Structure 1
Amino acid sequence: MSGETKITIVCSTQDRASQNIKNNLLALKKWEPAGSGSGYSVFEFKGYRIVEIKEPLIFQEGLDKKLMECGLPAGLIIFASKHRSKDGRAILTVHSTGNASDAKFGGKQKQLAVAAPQAVRSLLRSLKMLSENEEYEVTLECTHHGPSDIEVPSVFIEIGSDEKQWLDEAAGRIVANAIMMLKDTDSPVAVGFGGTHYAPRQTSLIFETGITFGHIFPTHALEVLDEELIRQAFKKSNADFAYLDRKSMKAEQREKLGALIESIGFEMLKESDIRDMDGVPWEFCLQLRNKIKELCPNGRPRITDKIKCEILSCQDCICPKVKVARISPALLSEAEKLDKKRLTKFLYDHNIAYVEYEDGRFAHVIIALDSNCARLAAEELANECVSILKKHCKVDVNKGLLQITERKFSPESAKSLGISEGPMFGELAQGKSVMINGKTINPEMVYKTNKRIIKLNYD
């Protein structure tokens, strides 16, 4: 026995899929027997160790400590297992372990094992790639069954759903290769809430974005979650944020859950937020979100493709710093009401991030990677707003003040001259004269002039 800390693959003689995976692992590399005196069958290859046990995998409480006592310390435990399902579909799954409520299948009630989210991402994506020409679905599962007291990061990888798949050599080979292709990543980690047992939205996010997941709770388990269990999930996932499958839960569930998550100091990112930040270092996203909390507590960042490219091409800095500039909120609001589409195009055409409120309105904050870029973008945005206003109304700019003069049809004035709502209102609003009781009513008689002053310089 080497006594080295290794990636430890635990297989059971009682589990036919586990034996299939073990046999394929042994066929892939030149493993050396290394179990003398441990009570286990042990094989080692470089940084990996196979440990074969005789008991069911889901009841391996305290296995990490037992391995340590035997001189077989594990840095990561991968349980190679079968997945059982009544539908009998061909499926390869990855999941964390623990129990949100009752411990019907190993582990302890309301206890979670330490998750291995980076391994979850690597294994799931490798399974997807390797099974491309096979008829296997690849998916996450929500956190379930034991063991729940494992303090070393651990993960289950499974072949399902019945004996046909458990014994399928192709499936065993795919899982074995995925394990041996394990990559140490540094992806942002989410705790997942909501969805079905197979967590389809969380699975898609791992395949399509740069994040990963620790513990995941399905919609049917949300009612049993309390503050203590949620704290445990974040701690044992080493998580950065929460992701809610919002469409899978009721509004009251979202509100209750959101309040609990925020009370323990974590924030919730929507799927659009996650996809928006894809490809951007998490440290930068964290800076960005913290700055927005400070300036616009109800705002959400929007990261344009151009600033993403600039961040990724920044070779001289590990994590670019957030620089902020602002324009007059009144100016931005006036222009947005007149031509939001044009403003959206402007924002996406610049190397910036910007801020949106929950109702979709733009905030007056511009974010860039250096102060000059932020300032220049803010100046150009202000000019764009003025240009939009000039197109729709009379505008005068003098000494940092912008005066908007608008002439609008006044229904009250028209009614005071005896005109009822109807076709005549429309004609007057279009600038045409109308006749009533032999009297000509000109548009200027029913129009009011409004003037508004906006301070252009924002302090």
Structure 2
Amino acid sequence: MGSTEKEWRDTAAGAAVARSVLSAEPADCIPLIGFGGTHYAARQTHIALNTRGAFGHISHTREVTSLDAAMIDQMRERTGAVAAYIDRKAIPGKDLARLEGLLSERRIRPLNEGDLMHFGDMSWETYMRVLSLAEQIVPGCRVNLHGQCPDGQPVKIDLDPLLLEEAWRCSQNEFLDGLDTLPLIRLSTQKKPVWPSFITIGENSGNVLHDLISLCVNIIRRGEITFVEGDHLTVFRHRFDPGRARSLGIPPGPLYGQLMNGCTVRVGDREVTPDMVRTRSEKRIHIPGLEKFL
């Protein structure tokens, strides 16, 4: 309503707030405690308005340094929070590391904005089952929600590692954007942003796997020279070979860049085309029922 006694005495504003509270309907929210940001909690407000995240206690950036374990316990207990949101950009690195340590000790899981945006209709209990299954598949991994996940039983689906590798190599952004259209959970670690095992929810795992394979096949075919034969997708790649360039008398330097960009160069009285300094490699991927994914 405001920050001074003048606003607090505004009966019309008070009545509007009261009517809003009385007319509000309980929702299936995810109770959170929040950390970081200003007094006005802009990021937390955005999350509360656009996701199922609901905040009780929020500690802004200036207060984070004075928090201790007992205070965080009270924040959780009095809010009924099941997780935390941290405005990471608003908290200095040293304070952020300390806060993350306190939350980890109390087994309070941080959720980022992307997780909350993709939570869909998934219950917290289902999310806990997802975490348990993910830990069995890749111990210590992080789960990344994509699409709008329904509620239900988590199911593991596996993608051919070679197919995943080629699609990821072609276009990481296109692959991740494609995942956002599917009810999928991606597993990642610090050194490996995507594992070939995914988690989906419910009984449609076969359809989800079909769509995932189609996504990979289409990314590869758009980005590379490919050949389809039966159930095999062959990917051809051409790579600039410095050894071939040197053997043709081309010194390292700007001419290498021109050849790599597809330009013909001249060395003395001889023209050298890009094809003359390329090597070709190929990978053959077996995809049962490939025709269905084209």
**TM-score, length-normalised on structure 1?**
0.53
User: 197, 214, 217: which one pairs with 1:365?
Assistant: 197
For residue 420 of structure 1, give the secondary structure of its aligned residue in structure 2: coil
Match of 1:232 in 2: 74
User: Residue 238 of structure 2 aligns with which residue?
Assistant: 407
Question: Could you say which residue in structure 2 is the equivalent of 1:393?
Answer: 225
Q: How does 1:191-270 map to 2 (within 5 A)?
A: 191-270=33-112
Q: Which amino acid aligns with 1:409?
A: F
Distance in 1 between residues matched to 2:30 and 2:272, nearest whole Å: 67
Query: Partner of 1:448 in structure 2?
Result: 279
Q: Which runs of structure 2 are paired with 1:95-174 in the superposition (5 Å)?
A: 160-162=3-5, 164-174=6-16
CA 1:390–1:365 in structure 2 vs 1: closer, same or farther (change >3 Å)? same
Look up the equivalent residue of 1:252 and give its one-letter code.
K
Over the residues paired in the alignment, what is the CA RMSD in angstroms? 3.5
Query: Partner amino acid for 1:298?
Result: C
Change (3 A) 1:434 1:300: same
- Closer/same/farther in 2, CA of residues 266 and 166 from structure 1, 3 Å limit: closer
Alignment-derived partner of residue 291 in structure 2: none
1:288 alignment partner in structure 2: 130
Contact 1:242 1:266 in 2 (8 A): yes
- Structure 1 residues 243 and 435, CA, compared in 2 at 3 Å: closer, same or farther? closer
Q: Residue type of the partner of 1:260?
A: L
How far apart are residue 331 of structure 1 and its match? 2.1
- With 165-174 and 180-189 compared, the bigger mean Cα shift is at 180-189
One-letter amino acid of the counterpart of residue 167, structure 1? R
Instruction: Indicate the larger mover: 272-281 or 352-361.
Output: 352-361
Q: Are the aligned partners of 2:226 and 2:233 in contact in 1 as well (CA < 8 Å)?
A: no
Q: Say yes or no: does 1:337 pair with 2:169.
A: yes
Partner of 1:417: 248
Is the 1:195–1:219 Cα contact (8 Å) retained in structure 2?
yes
Residue by residue over 1:371-430, the C-alpha shift from the partner in whole angstroms, topping out at 9 and shown as x without a partner, is: 5x323432443344244434513457788x766443311123212432124554355446
Q: 1:345 to 1:168 in 2, by over 3 A?
A: closer
CA contact 1:354–1:366 (8 Å) conserved in 2? yes
Deviations 1:25-82 (A, max 9, x none): xxxxxxxxxxxxxxxxxxxxxxxxxxxxxxxxxxxxxxxxxxxxxxxxxxxxxxxxxx
1:298 paired to 2:129:
no
Match of 1:355 in 2: 186
Report the secondary structure of 1:202's partner residue.
Answer: helix
- Count of equivalent residues: 285
Given that 1:354 and 1:363 are in contact with CA atoms closer than 8 Å, whether structure 2 keeps it comes out as: no
Per-residue CA deviations over 1:261-287 (Å, capped at 9, x if unaligned) read: 112212101122222215543333333
1:66 aligns with: none
SS of the aligned residue for 1:190 comes to strand
Structure 2 residue 167 is matched with structure 1 residue 325: no
- The 1:284/1:418 distance shift into structure 2, 3 A limit, reads same
Offset of residue 369 of structure 1: 3.3
Tell me which structure has the larger Cα radius of gyration: 1
Q: Deviations over 1:135-177 (max 9, x none)?
A: xxxxxxxxxxxxxxxxxxxxxxxxx421x33332213423443
Q: Secondary structure at the match of 1:224?
A: coil
User: How is 1:55-134 mapped onto 2 (pairs within 5 angstroms)?
Assistant: 90-91=1-2
After alignment, is 426-435 or 218-227 more displaced?
426-435
Structure 1 Cα separation of the partners of residues 133 and 57 of structure 2: 28
Shift in CA distance, 433/249, structure 1 to aligned 2, threshold 3 Å? closer
Asked if 2 retains the 8 angstrom alpha-carbon contact of 1:408 and 1:447, the reply is yes
Amino acid at match of 1:227: A
| Structure 1: runs of 5+ lacking an equivalent | 1-89, 92-159, 312-318
- 1:213 Cα shift? 2.0
Q: For residues 16 and 40 of structure 2, what CA distance do their matches in structure 1 show? A: 20
Q: Which SS does the other structure have where 2:145 is aligned?
A: strand
**Aligned-pair CA distance for 1:337:** 2.2
How far apart are 1:325 and its partner, in Å?
0.6
Alpha-carbon distance between aligned partners in 2 of 1:278 and 1:267, rounded to the nearest angstrom? 18
Distance 2:153 2:170 in 1: 33
Could you tell me whether the CA contact under 8 Å between 1:396 and 1:404 is conserved in 2? no
SS in 2 for 1:239: coil
Q: CA deviation at 1:250?
A: 1.0
Residue aligned with 2:171, SS: helix
Contact kept? 2:158, 2:196, Cα under 8 Å: yes
CA spacing shift, 1:358–1:219, aligned 2, 3 Å? farther
Mapped partners of 2:18, 2:233: distance in 1: 68
Q: Tell me by how many angstroms 1:210 deviates.
A: 2.1
